[in-house]
């Protein structure tokens, strides 16, 4: 029984079977942690991990592993560091899902990556900007030689010129990395952008490297862009419980699991979690808000939106829009 038996007006068979091959990576604690400086208590992370595992989610990205001294341990919660002992306390002892941590280029030390046998971690994902790719590949090499699956996120692709994207992909294609995500850090992309880029990523990276997407929701496109990517044949999709994530947040895991309609996944444990995360959202205010929509539209970092959101009474979005328009006009003039 497929999706369309619910929507009666459309004949069956319009949905591509590609959704059945998708693997799901949850990054609620890692990316959602940007909203609360990773101050999730261990009990919530433990219940989140159990629910993700029960739901059949394939990967749980549980936080960043950061170099000692790179961040304050007072200001930041445990999931900014992902000490081995902490992870062991919260992860179900027997689990189907794989556990990933993210390494941020410049904030992580290759020497801190233990041998796979000494860790509960299965996957090391490296977050890099295009201009840091040398360092990112060194981290990747080290993680691989220590025995991990390696994933690579090249951030803010929407700000690169096409030839810069090509150059990154050419290097990644011969790097031996296992998995590369198309990352829309600013929530600037529409489905036609995603389709174009996914095709490009898949063409450059070839059969041996899996391709995924990590998409933000500034213009309410995170889930729609995921659907476009699935339709183009990606291997995996990132999502978070109730869309928790910086600014406008991510693709909501619950919507993705509904859509995949795959008996491999059971959305019900996630639905229980959402009740709890919905309460957090009232306080932390991720999701659709106009200041984030404006940064997405202008293809800039969400920090300008976060600043407006912290204003007590009004966001003054017209003012924000006019300033960004002016800046863009100036840049366009200078580029001539």
| Residue 47 binding a second copy, by CB under 8 A | no
Dist CA 86 CA 135 (whole Å): 27
Read off the tokens for 45: 């992370």
Binds a second copy by CB under 8 A, chosen from 39, 199, 268, 303: 268
Dist CA 75 CA 84 (whole Å): 20
Question: Which residue lies nearer to a second copy by CB, 149 or 254?
Answer: 254
Binds a second copy by CB under 8 A, chosen from 77, 212, 247, 252: 252
Sign of the dihedral through C-alpha 127, 132, 134, 135: negative
Three-state DSSP class for residue 314: coil
Is the separation of the CB atoms in 19 and 260 below 8 Å?
A: yes
Question: Which residue lies nearer to a second copy by CB, 44 or 160?
Answer: 160
Least separation in angstroms between residue 174's CB and a second copy is: 21
Question: Which residue lies nearer to a second copy by CB, 36 or 159?
Answer: 159
Question: Which residue lies nearer to a second copy by CB, 75 or 311?
Answer: 311
Least separation in angstroms between residue 255's CB and a second copy is: 6
**Looking at the chain, how many residues does it have?**
336
**One character per residue 206-245, x = contact with a second copy (rule: CB under 8 A):** -----------x-xxxxxxx-xx--x----------xx--
Residue whose C-alpha is closest to residue 236's, from 157, 168, 166, 182: 182
Residue 103 parent element (H or E): strand 98-104
Exposed, middle or buried by CB within 10 Å (0-12, 13-18, 19+), for 336? exposed
Residue 43 parent element (H or E): helix 42-55
Residue whose C-alpha is closest to residue 91's, from 125, 126, 42: 42
Region near a second copy per CB under 8 A, out of 66-74, 80-88, 202-210, 247-255: 247-255
Least separation in angstroms between residue 51's CB and a second copy is: 11
Residues numbered 133 to 192 that lie near a second copy (CB under 8 A) are 157-162, 164-165, 188-192
Is the separation of the CB atoms in 52 and 92 below 8 Å?
A: no
Question: Which residue lies nearer to a second copy by CB, 1 or 85?
Answer: 1
Read off the tokens for 40: 């999730």
Region near a second copy per CB under 8 A, out of 91-99, 132-140, 142-150, 312-320: 312-320
User: Which conformational region is residue 299 in: left (phi greater than 0), alpha (psi within -120 to 50 degrees), or beta?
Assistant: left
**Site for a second copy (CB under 8 A): how many residues?**
70
Binds a second copy by CB under 8 A, chosen from 41, 83, 272, 307: 272
Question: Which residue lies nearer to a second copy by CB, 120 or 160?
Answer: 160
Residues numbered 48 to 77 that lie near a second copy (CB under 8 A) are none
Dist CA 3 CA 40 (whole Å): 35
Region near a second copy per CB under 8 A, out of 53-61, 77-85, 96-104, 282-290: 282-290
Exposed, middle or buried by CB within 10 Å (0-12, 13-18, 19+), for 33? buried
| Residue 274 binding a second copy, by CB under 8 A | yes
Note the residues at the interface with a second copy (CB under 8 A): 1, 5-11, 14-15, 157-162, 164-165, 188-193, 196-197, 217, 219-225, 227-228, 231, 242-243, 252, 254-255, 258-259, 267-269, 271-272, 274-275, 278, 287-290, 293-294, 297-299, 314-318, 321-322, 328, 332
């Amino acid at each position: 029984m497929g999706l369309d038996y619910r929507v009666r007006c459309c004949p069956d068979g319009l949905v591509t079977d590609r959704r059945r091959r998708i693997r799901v990576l949850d990054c609620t604690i890692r990316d959602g942690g940007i909203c609360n400086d990773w101050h999730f208590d261990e009990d919530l992370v433990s219940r989140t991990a159990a629910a993700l595992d029960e739901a059949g989610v394939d990967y749980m990205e549980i936080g960043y592993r950061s170099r000692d001294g790179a961040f304050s341990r007072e200001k930041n919660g445990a999931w900014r560091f992902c000490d081995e002992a902490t992870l062991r306390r919260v992860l179900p002892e027997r689990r189907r899902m794989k556990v990933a941590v993210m390494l941020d280029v410049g904030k992580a030390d290759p020497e801190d990556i233990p041998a796979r046998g000494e860790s509960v971690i299965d996957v090391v994902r490296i977050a890099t900007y295009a201009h840091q790719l040398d360092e990112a590949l060194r981290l990747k090499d080290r993680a691989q030689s220590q025995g991990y699956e390696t994933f690579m996120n090249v951030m803010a692709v929407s700000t690169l010129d096409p030839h810069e994207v090509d150059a990154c992909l050419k290097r990644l294609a011969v790097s031996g990395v296992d998995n590369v995500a198309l990352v829309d850090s600013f929530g600037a992309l529409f489905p036609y952008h995603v389709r174009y880029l996914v095709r490009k990523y898949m063409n450059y990276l070839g059969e041996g490297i899996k391709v995924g997407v990590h998409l933000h929701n500034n213009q309410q496109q995170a889930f729609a862009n995921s659907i476009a990517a699935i339709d183009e044949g990606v291997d995996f999709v990132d999502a978070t419980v109730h869309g928790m994530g910086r600014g406008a947040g991510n693709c909501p895991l619950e919507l993705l699991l509904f859509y995949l309609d795959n008996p491999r996944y059971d959305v019900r444990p996630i639905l229980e979690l959402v009740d709890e995360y919905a309460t957090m959202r009232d306080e932390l205010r991720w999701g659709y808000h106009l200041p984030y929509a404006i940064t997405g539209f202008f293809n800039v970092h969400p920090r300008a939106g976060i600043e407006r959101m912290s204003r007590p009474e009004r966001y003054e979005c017209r003012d924000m829009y006019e300033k960004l328009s002016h800046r863009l006009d100036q840049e366009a003039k200078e580029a001539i």
